[in-house]
Amino acid sequence: MEQFIRYINRSTLIIAAITGKGYCASARKTGSLLLANVLRVAAVSIASRVVLLLGQLFVCAAATTGAWWWLTNDPVGTRQAQVSLGKNVPPVASLCVVALGSWLVGRAVMGVYWVVIDSVMMCFFYDSDKDRPLPTTNTILGRWRNKRIIIEEDEDWSDADAGGKRSV
């Protein structure tokens, strides 16, 4: 339940940043957007969790492998560590600390990407709800098929460049 409230709160803050409206109005809009796009939210959440987990595992594996190479090959040139531990003893405790630390760093970095994914998803839902295509598109798909598109060859653009207002 706490995770659900945290997710709704984060999505509400994203919608508040997009629209510039208050928290309650943004919460209402967030609820309607998420309920209208439940399957999309589920698909994006599952796919992004898998990709972010793989990224986190990669960061952890790369850091642990680098630490293992550093500790076993002794690139500095001092043999002090191998003398105290013995030549064939792997530095397990050091590698566990490096793995734990790199897992936490990877989690923090991937948390930033999680917020970016949520923001882009909520922007897409908000734009889809507005039912306005962007002015730079030349092709229209789905429910926008019968809408008018503004492209550079439109007559209204020449009026806008001359200082007048363009009509939409």
> Would 41 be classed as within a structural domain?
no
Q: For residues 15 and 26, is the Cβ–Cβ distance under 8 A?
A: yes
Residues 79 and 104 in one domain: yes
Q: Is residue 134's pLDDT more than 60? A: no
Residues 135 and 103 in one domain: yes
> Would 168 be classed as within a structural domain?
no
Would you call 15 exposed, middle or buried from its count of C-beta atoms within 10 A (0-12, 13-18, 19+)? Answer: buried
Q: Is residue 90's pLDDT more than 90? A: no
Q: Is residue 16's pLDDT more than 80? A: yes
Residues 5 and 68 in one domain: no
- Note the pLDDT tens digit of each residue in 151-166: 555 454 444 455 555 4
Tokens of 93: 């405790």
90-97 long-range CB contacts below 8 Å, 24 or more apart? 94/67, 95/64, 95/67, 95/68, 95/71
As for how many domains the chain has, the answer is: 2
pLDDT, average across residues 47-66: 94
* pLDDT band at residue 132 under the 50/70/90 scheme: low
| Position with higher pLDDT, 15 vs 72 | 15
> Would 63 be classed as within a structural domain?
yes
Task: Identify the weakest region by mean pLDDT among 88-97, 100-109, 111-120, 132-141.
Answer: 132-141
